[in-house]
């Protein structure tokens, strides 16, 4: 292996810089490789200044920093690139142009760190002959084939600290606080942050809720002498029998937005049920900041192992975490899994044992 | 002095528990006084379980905690108490009932920690003969007669950390981020957090802004190679020639809300100017959490000095910070001042020298 | 199951209060059990005020707090209790007295959260007929049969933040910084914190080091333009061919101490090799503070699952983490494993690829 | 003013990068000046690569970072430079060489950020005709002429968080914890951190202590049911009638060290008085890390105002904080003051009212 490239795609996740640093250092030190950084995701292959030769000097000091020094293009699907031509949006397939560039660059391997969407693109390139190795990246923890990915732990800690902050005010002021968290399809952030922060109600996509049941839990708490409640609400939490609220907000993959389910719950509490509540939408705060130790550790190990995978010629695979070991799993296999919170899992059972309510049944 | 009471009023501010702890400890240790805690602000005087005898055991371990163990009533103005009688809201003056209760309790002093509103009530009670000592409490830093109060430093650090978090994502994703912060009448939080976090635009009530000027600054930065910008926006920031947006959101004193100026700016950027931006409303997160060292220090010194003021019979005064000294100032004098950001101050000049833009003039 | 008791033993670990809270809440809510808290470890059974009836009120608000509300006795081995009688120390077996007390209390189950030492005691009680369920607790990550335990993640984050802090000073002042971390027998804290903090040298018990090799690495870095280095040193790091330094410091299990290997390395650098360096011994700071989300999550799940294990009559087992699942493993099996850093593991290989040096060979 | 230079001297202090950034940005934006950065303190003037032309690109992203991008030489006194010549140490005056270099560079102003020692050097250069403006920098808060300087707030928060961490362990394990903090001549860090962290004993240089009195306080607390105590000890704390312990440790200005007063107190407690205690020496951790909002704010305002002072030709002055205003004070005047904790101040009185003990008298 003489030349390897690395790119990051999709939304921000703490730990991306650890990945980049590990790829660069491992490629140079263990494989005596040349390393190229691709700017702003796959798009970089088609930009004049999109290719950046990298050495260790460029990755110095980036380990504790959020974001990605390579940048990322959120909507960069080269197989269906949106372009405005003559006033109209057209969708064109740029994948062959990308592949030609990869061939011109004489890349022996391409490391792609990204979420579901980006890894699907990686898989399609692999099928067309590009020597791809994947690195799963998701703050939502919704990628299969790995116990966890980097970004999730930082996001959960950020969300938990927000709950910690809201707790004292909620108690002092007898308030209900609605905290909307990330998670369109998987409720792991709300579940983990809710349990570790001590939320009173957790609403997640996997367990559709009824508004009346939520209200009853809040009132029951009031009657028992706790005139405050904290609700941790996934962006994708859904009323029983309804479609997800975020679906009407456009396909922005990158953040919960005002006007989402949190606002709906908050408005209903205040206007419909006469319960004074406040809404906080944590949004992008969950994606930023210095990564936790776990995310730096995992990002570093993922990046380093991805280079070793590439050196061993195991393309079409992504690195993954099993227990405390880094392993490899085929992209095909990993992408076939839809990872969601299991409503019957021990984790949900534990949450219920803590007195946390999911809005699916009327409290006893 | 044989018996002293303490109460906390208004919105949450980190450091209130330090105040309560210091009042209790100083009263017992330095004055051998009995101490009563009044629950939920002035309202506590009229509630059956509103009076709580306190000793040092009750204030153990509360120094690092946000909120107030005594609770607070946000709308508790006893001179104009809102009551629903026969389906209609009536406003009655309950101040005499409060004063009778104070006399029955044989209070030698009443320490009131609160913001503008609460201190005005304190002043009215003082005029009616109640032996009141005030403690200024404001996260907005808008109370006169003191350099700073507790709560402000914690709020600014919380807001600055949010800017730190947004920075990496903004840079990696070439995004504009709109961060709405507290401050209806005074822009100190946005100014201090914006300067210490390195915001690109700061919008505050004291410097009305034009949307076109903000847009021009964002575009100028894009042209100079910084395709991202962070806007720190006070809740009370106001368009030139308009009324504040929050004014139409009701008189909730306790939090910025969705639907405020932040959302207006964010919507205008996206829809009107085609600049992709994201909104974060920090809201109550600024009021919670463990207080900073400065706020614990100041709260402790304010609480302790308030008891000494009371012991010296200096009623109608509040404690205040001048430089690094705790002093006393009459409530009348303090309340006469309207503390706002001076647009011509060195602080604003420094911010401009950092390249920060206030939206009041078109960038050169 | 009608009555269950819980106790915590050994050194402090962030997450113990999450365990206690989860045991109490689960026992009451899922099993309608009575719960007793045993104070100061097993010793509590023999103290007049050592047994505390518990309900949910007592565990309110303790989730974010470090330490253990039940207290713990560090040296409380009831099978070999040290006592001073007539001026001399005698060692007596108090286990039968403990068992009698357990029988008098009519305990149906006893949940014991502790490290290696405490779990060994738990196992001995189980063999003598006590219905014991164990919960592994170790900040060092040296207990077998589980991927991780609570406390480790908080300790690693604390250590990593210390490295982050030292980095800027080391760089600005061209300094060598020696940071001694916990870990007598297992180097996981130093390894994980060193990798995630970006240390330059990591010294752990599992890889004996040579002082000359460490010096050579520091000098090589100086020559390459990095006139600073950060050394993350486990308390149990050992010179090749020597005994561990801590062994001569007494059998205090609870903290690294001055006079340990960190001081030895620091002194050698300054006096023997003329390399100016500074020593920081992080000590008990690693054991305190608010637990991370992971440790609160794991502590909660461990506590809750331990009650379910007890309800199912699976005594002599401890809860454990495999991947993201909570399982059960027999105490015998878990205690048979000696968990250490594997010098040939991927994790160590990754660290070396990052340019981190373990002092076992002369740098190329 | 056409060309201005900036340098940083002495020990590390969070906020130095804010100062550098503000000097560069203000000089360029407000004065259209050229800016030079001097590397490693005054020494940089005599080094081949010691002068660095600076623009805004170089100060991008440094605001949240500790340390100083310019580096600093701890012992760089050009009026008495230590040099080894022919195996012997000689002390030579290099100040004229520095001045010649300053003249060659055609500097119109030189901004020097430093502590007592560095500002004294600044003052001497000013007397010899160099157009110097000073910026006070001290984590110890021991520079006169200003209410506070940057670095102190970050150090106090770091120390307070350490006390927070120790609290839970101390309580759970019935332990005495000795925390040695910075402060050779002034005890402000220990006083502020001790009060805001809730220490039980504070030992500072300004109030010499007796060991017996400290022990009595610890025992009194044990008898009253608090079998733990936390001692916040300044590096310069001194036994009544003795010389400071640090005086025998050499003139390292940069850190408390093992072997200092903390170790002495800890050893005495354990060996002499049979009180089990643990020592933590916080050391350089206090000097590192991301600056607090206050330190970034003050550093930015100091840096910007220093440039304005220079532009106004007010040399021989330093910037200073009075209340919430930035002002100027002559170096001579500022250096004439010896700022120490006043044992009779309100601040100490407040600490005593909190039950904190200074070891100067036997507790009642």
Per-residue pLDDT tens over the stretch C295-322: 999 999 999 999 999 999 999 999 999 9
Mean residue pLDDT across chain B: 93
Q: Where in chain B is the domain with CATH 3.40.50.460?
A: 154-288+342-353
Inter-chain touch A254–B281, beta carbons under 8 Å: no
pLDDT value at C8 more than 70: yes
SS3 B152: helix
Across chain A, the runs of DSSP E, i.e. the strands, are 3-8, 34-38, 51-54, 81-85, 88-92, 109-114, 132-138, 150-151, 176-181, 201-203, 229-234, 277-281, 317-322, 325-330
Q: Which residues between 128 and 167 in chain D have a beta carbon less than 8 angstroms from any beta carbon of chain B?
A: 147-148, 153, 156-157, 159-160, 164
Residue of A nearest to C163 (CA): A64
> What residues form DSSP beta bridges with C234?
C181
Q: Which of A147, A294, A307 sits opposite C323 (nearest CB)?
A: A147
What is the model's pLDDT at position C308? 98
Residues of D serving a catalytic function are 140
CB–CB of A223/A363 below 8 Å?
no
Calculate mean pLDDT across residues A8-19: 95
Beta-bridge partners for C357:
C201
| Residue-by-residue DSSP string for C305-360 | HHHHHHHTT-TTEEEEEETTEEEEEEHHHHHH-B----TTSHHHHHHHHTT-B-SS
Q: Does C47 touch chain D (CB under 8 A)?
A: no
**Does C169 lie at the interface with A, CB-CB under 8 angstroms?**
no
The verdict on B292 touching D (C-beta cutoff 8 Å) is yes
**Chain C residue numbers touching D16 (CB-CB < 8 A):** 172
- Judged by CB atoms closer than 8 Å, whether chains meet at B160 and D296 is answered as yes
The answer to whether D281 contacts chain C (CB < 8 Å) is yes
Measured in angstroms, the CA of D16 and the nearest CA of chain B are apart by: 13
Strands B34-38 and B51-54: antiparallel
When mean pLDDT is compared across A188-192, A324-328, C3-7, the lowest value belongs to A324-328
**Nearest beta carbon to residue B355 from set D29, D156, D323:** D29
C-alpha to C-alpha distance for B115 and B152, rounded to whole angstroms:
12
Rounded to the nearest angstrom, the minimum Cα separation between C206 and chain A is 18
Tens digit of pLDDT for each residue in D9-64?
Answer: 988 999 999 999 999 999 999 999 999 999 999 999 999 999 999 999 999 999 99
- Model confidence at C253: pLDDT above 50: no
Inform me whether the pLDDT recorded for B254 exceeds 70. Answer: no
Are C341 and C194 spatial neighbours (Cβ–Cβ below 8 Å)?
Answer: no
pLDDT below 50 — which residues of chain D? 251-256
Predicted confidence (pLDDT) at residue A363 exceeds the cutoff of 90: no
Whether residue D174 and residue C287 make contact (CB cut-off 8 A), yes or no, is: no
Percent of chain A surpassing pLDDT 90: 82
pLDDT attached to residue C258:
61
Contacts of D22 (CB under 8 A, 6+ apart): B350, B353, B354, D299, D300, D301, D302, D303, D304, D307
Cβ of D195 within 8 Å of Cβ of B29? The answer is no
- What average pLDDT does the segment A347-357 reach? 97
Give mean pLDDT, residues B21-33: 97
Contact B30 D353 (CB under 8 A): yes
In this predicted structure, which of B38-42, B227-231, C74-78 has the lowest mean pLDDT?
C74-78
Distance CA B44, CA B51 (A): 6
The CATH class of D3-150+289-336 is alpha beta
Q: Which of A66, A72, A258 lies nearest to residue B279, judging by beta carbons?
A: A258
D181 touches chain C (CB under 8 A): no
Residue at token pair 């009831």: C78
Predicted confidence at residue A362, as pLDDT, reads 62
Q: Please give the pLDDT value at position D362.
A: 62
Chain B residues lying within 8 Å of A74, measured CB to CB: 173
| Interstrand relation of C132-138 and C150-151 (parallel, antiparallel or unpaired) | parallel
Q: Test B22 with D300 for CB contact under 8 angstroms.
A: no
Task: Closest CB to D172: pick one of C71, C164, C255.
Answer: C71
CA distance C195 to chain A (A): 6
What class is the A3-150+290-336 domain?
alpha beta
At A364 the pLDDT is 57
* CA nearest neighbour of B53 among B30, B76, B24: B24
Which one is catalytic: A12, A43, A108, A140?
A140
Nearest-CA distance D23 → chain B (Å): 9
> Which residues of C belong to the active site?
140
Rounded distance between C-alpha atoms, residue B318 and residue B334, angstroms: 8
Q: Residue B288: which of A74, A166, A279 has the nearest Cβ?
A: A166
CB neighbourhood size of A97 (10 A) = 14
A196 in C contact zone (CB under 8 Å): yes
Q: Per the CB < 8 Å rule, is B355 touching D25?
A: yes
Q: Where in chain B is the domain with CATH 3.40.50.450?
A: 3-150+291-323
CATH fold of the domain at C154-288+342-353: Rossmann fold (3.40.50)
Rounded CA gap, B350 and B353, in Å?
A: 5
Percent of chain B past pLDDT 90, that is, above it, reads: 82
Instruction: Give A155-288+342-353's CATH code, choosing from 3.40.50.460, 3.40.50.720, 3.30.70.1450, 2.40.50.180.
Output: 3.40.50.460
Instruction: Please identify which residue in the block is written with the tokens 């961060």.
Output: B179
Q: Rounded CA gap, D37 and D44, in Å?
A: 9
Structure tokens at C332: 């015998």
* Closest partner CB to A288 (pick from B16, B169, B287): B169
Q: Write the class of the CATH domain B3-150+291-323.
A: alpha beta
- Interval C214-228: pLDDT, tens: 999 999 999 998 889
Q: Do D165 and C66 touch (CB under 8 A)?
A: yes
CA atoms within 13 A on the CB side of A13: 32
Q: Give the CATH fold of the D154-287+342-353 domain.
A: Rossmann fold (3.40.50)
Residue C256, pLDDT > 80, answer: no
Q: Which tokens hold the place of C333?
A: 């099996």
CB distance D288–C166 less than 8 Å? yes
Range in A194-203, A248-257, D184-193 the model is least confident about: A248-257
* φ, ψ for residue C158, nearest 5 deg: -60, -45
Which chains sit next to B, with 3 or more Cβ pairs under 8 A?
A, D
Q: Which residue of D has its CA nearest to C174?
A: D71
C-alpha distance from D300 to closest chain B C-alpha (Å): 8
Phi–psi pair at D99, nearest 5 degrees:
-65, -40
> What is the model's pLDDT at position A254?
41
| A280 → closest Cβ in B65, B164, B285 | B285
Bridge partners of A178, per DSSP, are A231, A279
Predicted confidence at residue B362, as pLDDT, reads: 63
pLDDT at position A117, please?
92
CB D144 within 8 A of CB D123: no
Q: What angle do CA C270, C273, C274 make, to 5 degrees?
A: 55
Q: Look at residue B41 and tell me whether its pLDDT is greater than 60.
A: yes
Residues in chain B within 8 Å Cβ distance of D346: 301, 305, 325-326
A353 and C29 in contact by Cβ < 8 A?
Answer: yes
Question: Is there a contact between A291 and A14 (Cβ–Cβ < 8 Å)?
Answer: yes
Chain A interface includes B295 (CB < 8 A): no
Chain B residues with CB-CB distance to D192 below 8 A? 293, 297
Sequential DSSP letters for B239-294: BTTS--GGGGG----S---TTSHHHHHHHIIIIIS---EEEEE-GGGGG-SSPPHH
Q: Does B177 touch chain A (CB under 8 A)?
A: yes
Using an 8 Å CB-CB cutoff, list chain B residues near D197.
63-64, 293, 296
> Tell me, what's the pLDDT at B81?
81
Residue A75 pLDDT: 61
Candidate from D29, D153, D323 with C-beta closest to B323: D323
pLDDT per position as a tens digit, A27-85: 999 999 999 999 999 999 999 999 999 999 999 999 999 999 999 876 668 898 877 78
Q: CB–CB of D26 and B350 under 8 A?
A: yes
Report residue C230: phi and psi, to 5°: -120, 125
Question: How many Å apart are CA B37 and CA B40, to the nearest integer?
Answer: 10
Mean pLDDT of all residues belonging to chain D: 93
Give mean pLDDT, residues B161-184.
93
Judging contacts by C-beta atoms under 8 Å, the chain A residues touching residue C347 are 301, 324
Looking at the DSSP bridge assignments, the partners of residue C328 are: C319
Contact A166 B284 (CB under 8 A): yes
* ipTM associated with this complex: 0.94
Assess D272–B contact: CB distance below 8 Å, yes or no: no
Nearest Cα of chain A lies from the Cα of B342 at a distance, in angstroms, of 31
Burial string for A207-221 (b: 16+ CB within 10 Å, else e) reads bbbebebbbbbbeeb
pLDDT of residue D75: 61
- B-D contacts at Cβ under 8 angstroms: 133
CB pairs under 8 A between A and B: 119
């Amino acid at each position: 292996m003489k030349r390897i490239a690395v790119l990051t795609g999709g939304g921000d996740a703490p730990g991306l810089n650890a990945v980049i640093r590990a790829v660069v250092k491992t490629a140079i030190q263990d494989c005596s490789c040349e390393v190229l950084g691709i700017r702003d995701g796959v798009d970089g292959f088609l930009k004049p200044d999109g290719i950046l030769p990298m050495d260790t000097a460029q990755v110095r000091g980036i380990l504790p920093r959020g974001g990605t020094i390579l940048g990322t293009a959120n909507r960069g699907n080269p197989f269906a690139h949106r372009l405005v031509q003559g006033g109209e949006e057209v969708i064109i397939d740029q994948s062959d142009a990308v592949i030609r560039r990869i061939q011109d660059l004489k890349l022996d391997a391409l490391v792609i760190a990204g979420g579901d969407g980006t890894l699907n693109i990686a898989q399609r390139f692999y099928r067309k002959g590009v020597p791809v190795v994947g690195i799963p990246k998701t703050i939502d923890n919704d990628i299969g084939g790995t116990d966890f990915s980097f970004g999730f732990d930082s996001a959960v800690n950020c969300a938990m600290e927000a709950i910690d902050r809201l707790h004292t005010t909620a108690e002092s002021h007898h308030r209900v606080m609605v905290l909307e968290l990330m998670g369109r399809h998987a409720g792991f952030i709300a579940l983990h942050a809710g349990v570790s922060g001590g939320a009173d109600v957790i609403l997640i996509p996997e367990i559709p809720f009824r508004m009346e049941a939520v209200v009853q839990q809040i009132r029951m708490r009031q009657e028992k002498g706790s005139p405050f409640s904290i609700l941790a609400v996934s962006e994708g939490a859904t009323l029983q029998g309804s479609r997800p609220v975020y679906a009407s907000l456009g396909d922005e993959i990158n953040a919960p937005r005002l006007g989402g389910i949190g606002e709906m719950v908050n408005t209903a509490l205040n206007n419909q049920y006469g319960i004074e509540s406040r809404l906080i939408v944590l949004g992008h705060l969950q994606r930023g900041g210095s990564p936790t130790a776990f995310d730096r550790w995992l990002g570093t190990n993922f990046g380093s192992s991805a280079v070793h995978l590439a050196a061993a010629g195991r393309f079409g695979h992504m690195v993954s975490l099993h227990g405390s070991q880094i392993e490899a799993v085929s992209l095909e296999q990993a992408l076939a899994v839809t990872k969601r919170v299991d409503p019957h899992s021990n984790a949900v059972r534990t949450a219920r044992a803590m007195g946390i309510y999911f809005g699916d049944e009327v409290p006893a």
